[in-house]
Amino acid sequence: MFKTLAFPDNFLWGSAVSAHQTEGNNTNSDWWEWEQKGGGKEPSKEACDFYNRYKEDISLVKKLNQNAFRLSIEWAKIEPEEGKFSSKETEHYKKVLEELKKNNIKTFVTLHHFTNPVWFTKKGGWLNPKSPQIFCNYAKYCQDNFSDLVDFWITINEPTVYAGQSYFFGLWPPQKRNVLKTAVAFINMIKTHNRCVSVLKKPAGIAHNVVRFDSATKYPWDNLLSKILNKFLADGVLFLCTKKQGFIGVNYYFQYKITNLRLSFDYSLGKTDMKWPVAPEGLYKVLINLKKYKKPLYITENGCADSKDAIRKLYIGCHLESVHRAIEAGADVKGYFHWSLMDNFEWHLGFKPRFGLIEIERENNLKRVVRPSARYYAKVCEKNLLLSQKSNLKSQILIPQIYGLNMWL
């Protein structure tokens, strides 16, 4: 009845967080400054207090059988003033990374995850033509101080998302709405990535948010639009930086369907609290498309907002089956990171979206509560395999025994 899907030896299983979303009190950053002026749904404040509770949280990573962890170093803390680096914060991040190493957990360290030092934004931020060199000075400092504790570097997280949200849609600081500025910010981030890869000694890559577009009709115009969007938003970005990186980080959450040149979602497999569709087939197609770059692939983010933990097990299972299918088809996928380890501060949306394997009880001293889906994922990590029931996925959405969920709970 069930088919065992074994993953390659040495496959990395993990989860991910970012500094501003979990650490708290990021007072020297542009996001913190923006929040104090009323930006977003609510301020981040102490966030999840990962800054002080990192030992407790890393112990949970270990207990959940994860052998890798993605986290970010906060630029605004490391370099609070241009050219002046904080020895206190340097020692703090060393302790965090040492704790991961002590637990035999591979480290994926992101250098930029959406936030900037206030001094950097006052100099024009990512619109400043000198921004690549400014950032590379910070990257070199991190290389010199943390490299022996880092297994993989992620230079920039989702440059398309940052440029779009900050300069096109105007939802994030500095809340500019200008197409030219969007392009300039994005190009400077890509230039920065390419320079930083030469500075960093360990394998380095970019974490690229890849949204899949598929035609829902047989109309040639829908098919053409899907091809253009996939080429521009996926291949276009990677073409600019692939030669300069040791691996490709893939952040995948959903796909769009195109009908009569209009974008829509297919909710036939369910939807998340963010109203994003459960769309594992999109992840398979993304990975197959990336084969041509002949680079190791790591799924650096994949997850769902699900406050009731009603669909997360199913979400993990069906997306991991897509990963396995892609591996069998020749995609060089080396690891998977669930977003996120814990409920955190979801940027302009505040704390309402709950992406965590671990629930954070905000009204109960930020108590950590391991969700059932986390225990399911822990079994996958422990056994390095998935149990898949080969039948009609659509018919089983309401009976989540697919992928052996009930067998491992």
Give which of 133, 134, 135, 125 is closest to 174, Cα–Cα. Answer: 125
Give which of 243, 305, 311, 302 is closest to 274, Cα–Cα. Answer: 305
User: Which residue reads 């109309």 in tokens?
Assistant: 219
Provide the b/e sequence for 363-379 (b: ≥16 CB within 10 Å): eeebebebbebbebbbb
Q: What whole-number distance in Å separates Cα of residue 302 and Cα of residue 100?
A: 21
What's the confidence (pLDDT) of residue 38? 97
Q: What is the mean pLDDT of the chain?
A: 94
User: Which residue reads 């009930």 in tokens?
Assistant: 406
- The residue ranges of every structural domain in the chain are 8-386
Amino acid at 18: S
For 348, residues 6+ apart whose C-beta sits below 8 A from its C-beta are: 39, 40, 41, 165, 171, 172
Mean pLDDT of 166-177: 97
What's the confidence (pLDDT) of residue 1? 62
| Contact yes or no for 260/250 (Cβ under 8 A) | no
| Contact yes or no for 26/19 (Cβ under 8 A) | yes
Cα 9 to chain centroid, rounded? 23
Provide the b/e sequence for 200-217 (b: ≥16 CB within 10 Å): bebbbbbbbbbbbbbbee
* Predicted TM-score of the model (pTM): 0.95
Mean pLDDT of 301-328: 98
Assigned CATH class of 8-386: alpha beta
Predicted confidence (pLDDT) per residue in 80-127, tens digit = 999 999 999 999 999 999 999 999 999 999 999 999 999 999 999 999
Lowest-confidence region among 49-58, 361-370, 389-398: 389-398
What's the confidence (pLDDT) of residue 2? 72
User: Cα dist. 336→17, 183, 299, 316, 404 in Å?
Assistant: 14, 30, 5, 10, 19
